[in-house]
A and B are shown apart, each in its own frame.
Chain A
Amino acid sequence: MVVLWVIDLAVVALSLFLSAGLTVMALRSADSGGGVQAAMLIAAVALLPVAAYPITAWAGARSALAKAILAPPELELDRRLVEVTRSRARLVDAFELDRRRIERDLHDGAQQRLVALTVALGLARLDLAPGSAAAAQVDTAHEQARQALAELRELIRGVHPQVLADRGLPAAVADAADRSPVKVGTDVVLPRRLPAGIEAAAYFAVCEALANVAKHSRASRASVRGRLVDDVLVLEVTDDGVGGADPAGGTGLAGLADRVAVVDGRLLLSSPAGGPTLVRVEIPCGLTVPSG
């Protein structure tokens, strides 16, 4: 900014010097004849407003410069925002792909092996005398393998449910509702499949909301409604519970909001003390969002 200050001074000095110089010259050349002197004076006076132009011009240039330095112009900001949005979209897609890959690997690997193991143990059990020590051991091993399978299945469901990939959001939400200990009615009607990243974010948001209903609301029933409104996915989870859900209360609502935020969506919550609770999720499904 020191450099600019010097330029400021130079511009002002140069502008003034031009008029002042002419005036002085006009006064000094008094002996050279009234005509010339008058002409030079007129030129000097006429130049005064002209001299203001470089000052104005410089002031304009300077303000533009200051703006450029202090705050990037809007175009630049827009460009960066688009880039950040795209990179986030790529990350969401990458996470989604990773989840599917992990699910596929577990399904094709560990799960099949465990089922094969239970078959082998089941067949071995047929050959052992009932009540023998060996039979008891095989029974124990069989039970362990079965439990490992059940645990693995729940784990995989948490990573990426197969029905979501195969049948989309309405079917996956219906299955999630069936698993809830609270009676949940679902009404999700969409005109088409949505990008995979959005489907996954919406599905896990619904699961999280239903888990909250089961854990905190003391509701006897809940419902999930979903529609695509002007290219915005709108999901509403309502319950008839006690209300008073607080995003700061560690009830998973903050995590839910984060899940939705990564796909440019937002979470709205209405939960007065005494209920009912409404969780509304809105996710834009336009062109700037990640595609699956």
Chain B
Amino acid sequence: MRADGPLRIVLAEDAVLLREGMSELLRRFGHAVVAAVGDAPALAAAVEAHEPDVVVTDVRMPPGFSDEGLRAAVALRAARPSLAVLVLSQYVEQTYAVELLDAGPGRGAGVGYLLKDRVGDVEEFDDAVRRVAAGGTVIDPEVVRQLLRRRRDPLERLTPREREVLALMAEGWSNGAIARTLVVTEAAVAKHIGAILAKLDLPPDTDDHRRVRAVLAYLRV
């Protein structure tokens, strides 16, 4: 699940220096930044005007410098079922990640919540944008780490390897990507996933997107 061609992107980031840097980064990877804006109302207008493939937005923006970017993302996801949205946050906050995921459950469009620091890992960032654009779910490893800590008891039944696989599943990776990360075969990953879903009483599901949702829904209860 990864969009390979160039994407049309609307970028919302109020810090001018960073907006320029990110625009350059996205162009460098072949994407078209059709609008780069600095506040939430301008973001909504730009989406209306440009119909982008994906929106990349900061959480905190003018006018209130609170969570306008997140609220805008939530509203966009609710209003446009097909729009992929990647939210960048300066802080790891479950609350924001959960609100974002809930704003369009069961819909096909991709969604992502990443720590802003990840932008600096330029190739990984480009990969995250492409996965979200292709309908995937991308969740920051830090968020997943905290979620895993929340549900300790049933998770203790998992082997260390299964916990690793579960974390990568929750971050939104496909079987193939998990296999590459852990340097094992895809068949081995599929076996682990089967065991995890059985131990956690989750329905077996071959669709990555629905599976990620199920795992995240399970973890955040």
Chain A residues engaging chain B, CB cutoff 8 angstroms: 104, 107-108, 111-113, 115-123, 125-126, 142, 145-146, 149-150, 153, 156-157, 161-163, 165-167, 171, 174-175, 178-179, 181, 183
How would you classify the secondary structure of chain A's contact residues: helix, strand, loop or mixed?
helix
**Complex contacts, B20 vs chain A, CB 8 Å:** 116
Contact, CB under 8 Å: A145 / B120:
yes
Surface stretch bound by A, among B44-52, B89-97, B158-166, B171-179: B89-97
Chain B residues engaging chain A, CB cutoff 8 angstroms: 15, 17-18, 20-22, 24-25, 28, 59-60, 65-67, 90-91, 93-96, 116-117, 119-123, 146-147, 149-150, 152
Contact, CB under 8 Å: A116 / B15:
yes
Q: State how many angstroms separate the Cβ of A157 from the closest Cβ of chain B.
A: 7
**Complex contacts, A161 vs chain B, CB 8 Å:** 91
Contact, CB under 8 Å: B18 / A112:
yes
Q: A125–B20 Cα gap in the complex (Å)?
A: 18
**Complex contacts, B123 vs chain A, CB 8 Å:** 122, 126
Contact, CB under 8 Å: B121 / A122:
yes
**Complex contacts, A120 vs chain B, CB 8 Å:** 21
Contact, CB under 8 Å: A163 / B96:
yes
Q: A258–B212 Cα gap in the complex (Å)?
A: 45
Q: State how many angstroms separate the Cβ of B31 from the closest Cβ of chain A.
A: 14
Having A116-B20, A122-B119, one finds 8 other A-B pairs with CB under 8 Å, namely A104-B65, A116-B17, A116-B18, A118-B121, A119-B24, A146-B120, A162-B67, A162-B90
Q: Which one, A112, A113, A118, A179, contacts B120 given CB within 8 A?
A: A118
Contact, CB under 8 Å: A116 / B67:
no
Q: A108–B17 Cα gap in the complex (Å)?
A: 11
Contact, CB under 8 Å: B119 / A153:
no
* A163 and B95 in contact, given A112-B18, A116-B15, A119-B120 (Cβ under 8 angstroms): yes
Q: A120–B119 Cα gap in the complex (Å)?
A: 10
Contact, CB under 8 Å: B150 / A115:
no
How would you classify the secondary structure of chain B's contact residues: helix, strand, loop or mixed?
helix
Contact, CB under 8 Å: A171 / B119:
no
Complex: chain A residue closest to B147, CB-CB: A178
Q: List 10 A-B contacts (CB under 8 A).
A: A111-B116, A115-B120, A116-B15, A116-B21, A117-B120, A123-B28, A125-B122, A166-B66, A171-B93, A178-B149
Closest 8 CB pairs of A and B: A118-B120, A122-B122, A112-B15, A119-B21, A178-B146, A171-B95, A116-B21, A116-B17
Contact, CB under 8 Å: B91 / A179:
no
**Complex contacts, B147 vs chain A, CB 8 Å:** 178
Contact, CB under 8 Å: B122 / A153:
no
Complex: chain B residue closest to A177, CB-CB: B150
Contact, CB under 8 Å: A122 / B149:
no
Q: A142–B65 Cα gap in the complex (Å)?
A: 28
Q: State how many angstroms separate the Cβ of A130 from the closest Cβ of chain B.
A: 12
Contact, CB under 8 Å: A121 / B60:
no
Contact, CB under 8 Å: B122 / A119:
yes
Q: State how many angstroms separate the Cβ of B15 from the closest Cβ of chain A.
A: 4
**Complex contacts, A115 vs chain B, CB 8 Å:** 18, 21, 116-117, 119-120
Q: State how many angstroms separate the Cβ of A20 from the closest Cβ of chain B.
A: 86
Complex: chain A residue closest to B89, CB-CB: A162
Complex: chain A residue closest to B125, CB-CB: A122
Contact, CB under 8 Å: B93 / A163:
yes
Contact, CB under 8 Å: B91 / A163:
yes
Contact, CB under 8 Å: A119 / B22:
yes
Q: State how many angstroms separate the Cβ of B183 from the closest Cβ of chain A.
A: 20
Contact, CB under 8 Å: B149 / A183:
yes
**Complex contacts, B121 vs chain A, CB 8 Å:** 118, 122
